[in-house]
Amino acid sequence: METDINNEIHQECTTKEIFQKETKQSSDDSTKDVATPSKPLSKKQMKRMEKAKKLGVNKLIRRKREKLQKKVKRKLAEEEGIVTERTGISRKELKRMKDNQIPSDVSVAIDLSFDGFMSGKDLNSCVSQLLRVYSSNRRAIRPFPLHFTSLRKGSEMYKAMDHHEGWQNWNIIWHEESYLDFFDKSKLIYLTSESDNVLDSLEPGAVYVIGGLVDHNHHKNLCNEIALKHNIRTARLPLSEHLVIKSRTVLTINQCFDIILGISEGKTWQQVLMEALPARKKIQLKDDVKTQTNKEKSSVENLEKVENILDKNEKLNESIKNT
């Protein structure tokens, strides 16, 4: 085991040396390109380049060290006969789940045409939500055929996605074109909170469109207006029909996706809504609130009955004394 660890450490050092050489070479090359007589590098630029180089090396070494520590810890546990618990789902389990998956007859398209409405921070938040969408669908019993639309090369959204290496290999269908260009319009249903139509159940063969927008409610009604402009059907999730919510609720992309994914797998609206929405929202099921209200009402009525009986007894005792 010590030999294995030593080999790992040697490999780590070698990796560091190679990375430093490559970084130095690329830095030298970039300096040759940038530090021309007409554009010499300033001290500030040189400091930034040196800092970026160090950060790159340290990040690589830190990841390698963390990986090595986990490996050593696992080996020690195995030698002592301790069964270590894995966090998350193993690759083997994921493969087994994938083999047993039954594709849904409903499709989902995430509309990613909102680059101009989001800041850099919001774009990164949007990508994080898309990662959760992909993760949920990957683990689903009945995964949706999942489309990312209007994802044009060179766009800000595409650049934000590119920060996550290998996303092009995800089991999704991504298009540079709009969902309007390749789906039958009669099959499209845009999910928007401003719709007058309540979604009771998923329509077989339908394509549910979710707006890929993180805007903190600054562009309210935008998705609904786009849908109406193109004569696309709309629907809203039945939040107010099943929940009592005491604070403002704006669903994230992944929350919206997880809700309809749960419905497609046979869960009830109450189940999926309670699972998808965070506990900090202090939401309650309407049925529970009704039950609690009825109990309180019944308690008040019983208390009034007891008070009436006591009043009658008191009056009766007074009349007996007077006689």
Residue 242 and residue 294 in contact, taking contact as beta carbons nearer than 8 Å: no
Residues 290 and 270 in one domain: no
- Tell whether 118 is covered by a domain: yes
Stated as kind and residue range, the H or E segment containing 258 is: helix 253-264
92 lies in some domain: no
Count Cβ atoms below 10 Å from residue 263 Cβ, excluding itself. 20
- Expressed as residue numbers, the domain containing 302 is 285-322
Examine the domain organization and report whether 244 and 210 are in the same domain. yes
Run of H or E residues at 263:
helix 253-264
- Whether residue 192 contacts residue 224, with contact meaning beta carbons closer than 8 Å, is answered with yes
Secondary-structure percent of the chain, ordered helix, strand, coil, rounded to 5: 60, 10, 30
Q: Are 227 and 190 in contact (CB under 8 A)?
A: yes
Strands (E), the chain: 107-111, 146-149, 173-174, 188-191, 207-211, 233-235, 243-244, 284-285
SS3 letters for 67-112?
Answer: HHHHHHHHHHHHHCCCCCCCCCCCHHHHHHHHHHCCCCCCEEEEEC
Same domain? For 171 and 304 the reply is: no
Number of CB atoms found within 10 A of residue 221's CB? 12
**Based on the domain organization, do 161 and 298 belong to the same domain?**
no
CA distance 318 to 320: 5
State how far the Cα of 260 lies from the Cα of 131, in Å rounded to an integer: 17
pLDDT at 26 over 50: no
| C-alpha–C-alpha distance, residues 47 and 74, integer Å | 40
User: Looking at the predicted structure, is the pLDDT value of residue 186 above 50?
Assistant: yes
263 and 179 assigned to the same domain:
yes
Whether 223 and 291 map to the same domain: the answer is no
List the structure tokens of 52: 């970026």
pLDDT band at 109 (very low <50, low <70, confident <90, very high): very high
Query: Given pLDDT bands bounded at 50, 70 and 90, which one contains residue 294?
Result: very low
- State the total domains in the chain: 3
Rg (CA), the chain: 30
In a domain, 98, yes or no: no
- pLDDT at res. 92: 57
CB atoms within 10 A of CB 243: 20
- Cβ neighbours of 38 (radius 10 Å): 5
> What's residue 7's pLDDT?
56
**95 domain-assigned:** no
Report in angstroms the alpha-carbon separations of 177 from 63, 107, 115, 133: 38, 17, 14, 20
Residues 125 and 249 in one domain: yes
**What is the rounded average pLDDT of the residues 273-287?**
74
Last residue of a domain, one of 85, 118, 135: 85
Give 195-242 pLDDT, tens digit per residue.
Answer: 999 999 999 999 999 999 998 778 888 999 999 999 999 999 999 888
Cross-strand partners of 235: 191
Q: Are residues 276 and 293 in the same domain?
A: no
Distance (Å, whole) CA 260 – CA 257: 6
> Tokens representing 279?
């506990």
At 180, which CATH number?
Answer: 3.40.1280.30
* Residue with more model confidence, 4 or 45: 45
Are residues 49 and 159 located together in one domain of the fold? no
Q: What is the mean pLDDT of residues 130-146?
A: 93
Position 101 pLDDT exceeds 70: no
pTM: 0.62
